[in-house]
Amino acid sequence: MTPAIIEMKRITKEFNHIRVLDHINFELLQGEIHALLGENGAGKSTLMKILRGIYQPEEGEILINGKAVTINSPSDSRLNGISMVFQEFSLIPSLTVAQNIFLTRESRSKLGLINDRIDEKKASILLHEMGVDLDPSLPVEQLSTGYRQLTEIVAALSQDAQILILDEPTASLTHTETMTLFGLLRKLKERGISIIYISHRMEEIFQIADRITVLRDGKNIITEQVQNLSIQQVIEHILGHKDVREIKKSTYLVDPTATPLLEVNHLNCNQEVCDVSFKLFAGEVLGLAGLMGSGRTELVQTIFGITPAQSGDIKVKGKKVRINDAKSGMKAKIAFIPEDRRLQGLSTMHSIKENFELPLINLRKLEKHKIFVDDHKIVALANGFVEKLQIKCDSIDKEIRLLSGGNQQKVVIAKWLSTEPDILIMDEPTAGVDIGTKTEILEMARNLANEGKGVVIISSELQELLSISDRIVIIKNGSIVDEMLRTEVKSEDKLHQIIQGAQASV
Amino acid sequence: MSNLNPISPSSDNSNGFSRFIKKFYWRDYVVYITFVVIFLIFSGSLFKMGFLSPNNLLNILRQTATISVMAVAMTFVLAAAEIDLSVGAVAGLASVTTAIIIGQFGILAGILAGLLTGVLIGLLNGFLITKVGIPSFLVTLGMQGVATGTAMWITKTAPIPIANETYTFIFGSGNVGIIPTLFIWTILALLIGHACLKSTPFGRQVLATGGNETAARYSGINTKKIKYITFVIMSVVSSISGMLYAGRLHSGRFQWGQGDELSVIAAVVLGGTSLFGGKGSVIGTIIGAILIGLINNGLILMGLEASQQMIVRGAIIILAVALTGRKTQS
């Protein structure tokens, strides 16, 4: 039997007396690819941060090669041969592949100057051994995401990494790039390098992993050989038995003969949105389901005009509209709550009022005498929304950065509801907000639909998507692959499988 | 601790005061405090040199007008998280084009020529920055050379005298009662600039663009257009400033305004506008500009040599900006 390279025993970690890891055992064998699975918040990243020396556990021990170690800092972790390949890449774009691989460890000439040619030769040998076809003298900025990632892995290996942690490595890779990556991972495995592979993509895990460990609510639910499990079983382990709960069935049924509120026909954009057509009816909440990187965000951004469509058309209430920027999207009575509120939704250095007023000012709806902004009107409106949405703040002059995540999200929502849209598009509206606010946001979306508006909602949390949507369309690789009424979805499980592509239909 | 002790009103008071001190945004007021402190110091130490005489005070306002006017427009540029280094050179070129055209076609044509100079350079700057995508720092640094070079070339570096007295009266040399027309220009820039930044859709959109350009774009703001307009306004205002130089000095010359970009940017940052965008105050800017004029004037009255003046001026600006900058970092 192959020896274990890492053994984590009875690891327990608490934050503010809340136990996020509860006596977790985790074992990584030499030359093994071990997939670590679990929902967001299950404890995966905390466990990895302990391994990388960012957090120290309250209880438990870590053995590396059979010897007990304490990992108090990221450099301790590196000395133990552990290396993490980041989702946001840590390469310097203007330097070459070789310069990046040997950064701070450059070869010197006799005069003590850096000699790029020696490093390029060394890098080229290394790349060749790994079976990566890449010119080491190319600047990293000229590489695709996939090759950047390969460069990063090679850089880690050149520092004698024995254990690699990969977090969602394929999230922004194309299919061919993924295959190249898998080729490299298999080579590494043969050389006895161990890999912890974190991903949500079942198909890939079943292709590449040897064993699977599932975490849920800070506990190790199962560790098992891949061949002894099916995708369905893994999903059940990830979700627990929540899916047993009855899903509230919607009584609302769309009339397919009515004029749709929004009709999208053969929309294309940058190969990220491929020939998408769908309809949204008044009074309906339409859920968009798909994995990260499936093109769901790109689709809604195209509809709103952030990245205008290259071909295809959009009709609002039966009338064709041209949407070539966000303002034309707004004029078509569409509102868009973006995925990343701190980057796209709000200017955090400005106050609630200063953020709230922007769409209305932009639509020229708030002018006195055609020149000046009517601040009395804005203050009254903003205060009205603060009360209606129960935004917790001392006043509307409070800076956004001082608000909680949930309240920030409510400001984004208020800002867009103020434009009185007919169509509200929400991209992950409940990400990073507390449970209470989550419910409020979902209820609000439902109420808007009941008032005769249309809501399009994207969410990675399927339970949430199922509880709010009347109809669900499934997106994969930029195209709609399936569509169903909520009443046709038997369980969260089934939906999960469809999104993963394990089954063609219910 | 004193929260637990309800019978101590004095500690409550000091608590309230220290809370007030903590809440007080120093960076927004540094310029006013510095202004008052320096004014008082100069009033005392330079009293005998006639610092407080109405003539000297009016002189300060007269001399700072060209900087003040440009600084108002620069407030918008910095608030949008951009920069314009060509302002001084544009002023110089506009003083030259105005002077030449006045000599040949009269005052109206001359004023139009000056404004047109600003419009053209502003359009070019805006195009290169927002459409071609070159950083404003580089575009306007290059434009500085282009504008100064053009002014030197078309005049063979000689000053072009302006004989038109109506022009020189309006643009800089005249007085209405005791009030210099240059001061009226400053007040005009202050009023228009303040209203525009605080209360018009354009001003709000400039601040939003500088605060978070992506979020502004997602709110439907055409951030490129906003920046484009800002650069055109900046250059037009610079050309007006150049015309003020021409009026005050009865001539157009490429050297008018040379190096002003540094004083202008210093005035704006002193006034509490963030170099990183999103925050701006036109009133602060004007006070900042007058503060720089005050320092210049005081140093001259002290009898410092030009070289020494430059050192002291530089040190004061670094100190004041360091004080203003602290809040931004935290």
- CATH code, domain carrying A278: 3.40.50.300
Could you give the CA distance from residue A358 to residue A374 in angstroms, rounded to a whole number?
A: 13
- The Cβ of residue A487 has, within 10 Å, a number of other Cβ atoms equal to 13
DSSP state letters, A369-416: TTTEE-HHHHHHHHHHHHHHTT---S-TTSBGGGS-HHHHHHHHHHHH
| Mean pLDDT value of segment A17-46 | 88
Average pLDDT value for residue range A86-92: 71
Q: Per the CB < 8 Å rule, is B217 touching A306?
A: yes
Question: How much is the pLDDT for A78?
Answer: 87
Instruction: Provide the 3-class DSSP secondary structure of residue A339.
Output: coil
For testing the chain A interface, which of B219, B225, B274 should be mutated: the one with the most A CBs within 10 Å? B219
Residue A252 lies in a domain: no
Same domain (yes/no): A61, A179: yes
Answer whether residue A145 is part of any domain. yes
Q: Total structural domains in chain A?
A: 3
Q: Are residues A160 and A223 in the same domain?
A: yes
Average pLDDT on A20-43 reads: 89
Of A218, A244, A270, the last residue of a domain is A244
Contacts of B245 (CB under 8 A, 6+ apart): B66, B91, B92, B95, B172, B256, B257
Q: Which residues in chain B touch residue A345, judged by CB atoms under 8 angstroms apart?
A: 215, 218
CATH code: domain B26-329 is 1.10.3470
Q: Between chains, do A347 and B208 touch, taking CB under 8 Å as contact? A: yes
Residue A31 in domain: yes
From chain B, the residues in CB contact with A344 under 8 A are 214-215, 218
Question: Residue A335 belongs to what H/E stretch?
Answer: strand A334-337
Kindly give, in sequence order, each residue whose CB lies less than 8 Å from that of residue B86, ignoring residues fewer than 6 positions away.
B121, B125, B140, B141, B143, B144, B147, B235, B238, B261
Query: Quick check: A298 and A305 in contact, CB under 8 A?
Result: no
Provide the pLDDT confidence category of residue A224 given band limits of 50, 70 and 90: very high
Residue A94 clears pLDDT 50, i.e. is over it: yes
Domain end (from A244, A274, A297): A244
Q: Residues of chain B with pLDDT > 90: what percent?
A: 68
Q: Is the confidence at residue A425, as pLDDT, over 90?
A: yes
Q: Is residue A282 scored above 80 in pLDDT?
A: yes
CA B57 vs CA A21, A413, B52, B64, B204: distances in Å: 71, 53, 6, 11, 35
Confidence of residue A252 (pLDDT cuts 50, 70, 90): low
User: Quick check: is A253 in a domain?
Assistant: no
Report, as an integer, the average pLDDT of A234-260.
67
Whether A139 is in a domain gets the answer yes
Q: Give dist(CA A315, CA A259) in Å, integer.
A: 10
Interchain pair A362, B219: CB under 8 A: yes
A134 near B CB under 8 A: no
CB A163 within 8 A of CB A196: yes
**Residues A61 and A157 grouped into a single domain:** yes
Compute CA distances A479 → A168, A175, A271, A498, B199, whole Å: 22, 15, 10, 14, 45
In 3D space, the residue among B73, B87, B85, B101 whose CA is nearest the CA of residue B268 turns out to be B73
Report the share of chain A in percent with pLDDT over 70.
94
pLDDT given at position A153:
86
- With vertex at residue A242, the alpha carbon angle to CA A240 and CA A247, rounded to the nearest 5 degrees, is 155
Residue corresponding to tokens 């034309």: A328
| Residue A15, min C-alpha distance to chain B (Å) | 26
- On whether both A297 and A346 belong to a single domain, the answer is no
pLDDT band with cut points at 50, 70 and 90 for residue A404: confident
Residues B136-150: pLDDT tens digits? 999 999 999 999 999
Across the range B246-273, mean pLDDT stands at 92
Q: Does residue A238 contact residue A38 with C-beta atoms inside 8 Å?
A: yes
CA dist B326 and A436 (Å) reads: 37
CB contacts < 8 A, A to B, total: 78
CB contact under 8 A, A354 and B208: yes
Residues of B in contact with A371 (CB under 8 A): 200
More confident residue, A271 or A455: A455
Average pLDDT over residues A142-171: 85
The verdict on A162 and A268 lying in the same domain is no
pLDDT score, position B21: 52
Nearest-angstrom CA–CA distance, A164 and A185: 10
The distance of B252 to chain A (nearest Cα, Å) reads: 36
A24: helix, coil or strand? strand
Let me know whether A275 and A288 are in one domain: yes
Work out the number of other CB atoms within 10 angstroms of the CB of residue B39. 16
Rounded (5°) CA angle A456-A458-A463: 110
As given in the structure block, the two tokens for residue B307 are: 């070289």
Q: Is A176 found in the same domain as A45?
A: yes
Distance from CA of A273 to the nearest CA of B (A): 19
Determine, for residues A349 and B208 on separate chains, whether the beta-carbon distance falls below 8 Å. no
Residues A364 and A219 in one domain: no
Min Cα distance A458 → chain B (Å) is: 17
A343 contacts on B by Cβ (under 8 Å): 212, 214-215
d(CA A198, CA A34): 8
Give residue B325's pLDDT: 56
Q: Chain B partners of A366 at a C-beta cutoff of 8 Å? A: 201
State the DSSP H helix or E strand holding residue A475, giving kind and residue range, or none if neither: strand A471-476
Tokens of A363: 């639509």
Percent of chain A surpassing pLDDT 90: 47
Indicate whether A361 and A461 sit together in one domain.
Answer: no
Name, in order, each residue with C-beta under 8 angstroms of B166's C-beta and a sequence gap of 6 or more.
B107
pLDDT at residue A502 above 80? no
pLDDT recorded at residue B65: 95
- The residue among B207, B218, B274, B329 with the most chain A CBs within 10 A of its CB, best to mutate, is B218
Name the nearest CA neighbour of B76 among B259, B215, B209: B209
Which two tokens mark A57?
A: 């556990």
Nearest CA of chain B to the CA of A9: how many Å?
41
**Domain spans, chain B:** 26-329
Predicted pLDDT at A253: 67
Q: Is B288 within 8 Å of B267 (Cβ atoms)?
A: yes
Residues of B in contact with A367 (CB under 8 A): 201
Q: Which of A439, A124, A478, A422 shows the shortest CA–CA distance to A288? A: A478
Of A101-105, A271-275, A353-357, A489-493, the one with minimum mean pLDDT is A489-493
Structural domain including A127 reads: 4-244
The predicted model gives B309-329 an average pLDDT of 69
Of B195, B201, B212, the CB nearest to A347: B212
**Residues of chain B neighbouring A307 (CB-CB closer than 8 A):** none
Whether A250 maps to a domain, the answer reads no
Whether the pLDDT of residue A320 is over 70: the answer is yes
Q: Which residue has the tokens 């078509």?
A: A332
Polymer length of chain B: 330
Q: Which of A223, A305, A480 is nearest to B221 (CA)?
A: A305
- Given pLDDT bands bounded at 50, 70 and 90, which one contains residue B24? low
Residue B187 in this model has a pLDDT that exceeds 90 = yes
The DSSP letter of residue A423 is: E
Partner B contacted by A191 (CB < 8 A): no
Identity of the residue numbered B318? I
Phi, psi of A315 (to 5 degrees): -115, 135
Answer yes or no: is pLDDT of A246 > 80.
no
- The reported pLDDT for the residue numbered A505 is 41
What H or E segment, with its residue span, contains residue B312? Answer: helix B306-329
Question: Residue A377, Cβ neighbours under 10 Å: how many?
Answer: 15
- Which of A363, A386, A420 is the last residue in one of the domains? A420
At B324 the pLDDT is 62
The average pLDDT across A385-389 equals 93
Question: Is B19's pLDDT higher than 70?
Answer: no
Q: Is the pLDDT of residue A484 over 60?
A: yes
Nearest to A306 among B200, B204, B218 (CB): B218
Kindly report the average pLDDT of chain A as a whole number: 87
Mean pLDDT of A99-109: 85
Are A88 and A209 members of one domain? Answer: yes
Q: Which long-range contacts (CB under 8 A, 24 or more apart) does A460-465 make?
A: A460/A40, A460/A292, A460/A428, A460/A431, A461/A430, A462/A289, A462/A492, A462/A495, A462/A496, A462/A499, A463/A242, A463/A243, A463/A492, A464/A430, A464/A438, A465/A287, A465/A289, A465/A495
A326 to chain B: which residues are within 8 Å by CB? 217-221
Q: Is A115 touching B (CB cutoff 8 A)?
A: no
What is the rounded distance in angstroms from the CA atom of residue B298 to the CA atom of residue B303?
A: 9
Structure tokens at A25: 């055992």
- If you average pLDDT over residues B57-69, what whole number do you get? 93
Residues of A in contact with B212 (CB under 8 A): 343, 346-349
Check residue B1 and give its pLDDT: 36
The answer on pLDDT for B87 being more than 70 is yes
Please say if the pLDDT value at position A155 is more than 90. Answer: no
Question: Quick one: pLDDT band at residue B13, thresholds 50, 70, 90?
Answer: very low
* In a shared domain, residues A240 and A374: no
Residue A379, chain B, CB below 8 Å: the answer is no
Which structure tokens are listed for B163?
A: 């004989």
Contact B217, B210 (CB under 8 A): no
Q: Which of B112-116, B240-244, B275-279 is least confident?
A: B275-279
Q: A306 and A395 share a domain?
A: no
Beta strand segments in A30-130, E: 33-37, 59-64, 67-69, 82-85
Please tell me which residue of chain A has the smallest CA distance to B280. Answer: A350
Kindly report which listed range (A32-46, A333-347, B56-70, B283-297) carries the lowest average pLDDT score: A32-46
Both tokens assigned to A354: 């200063």
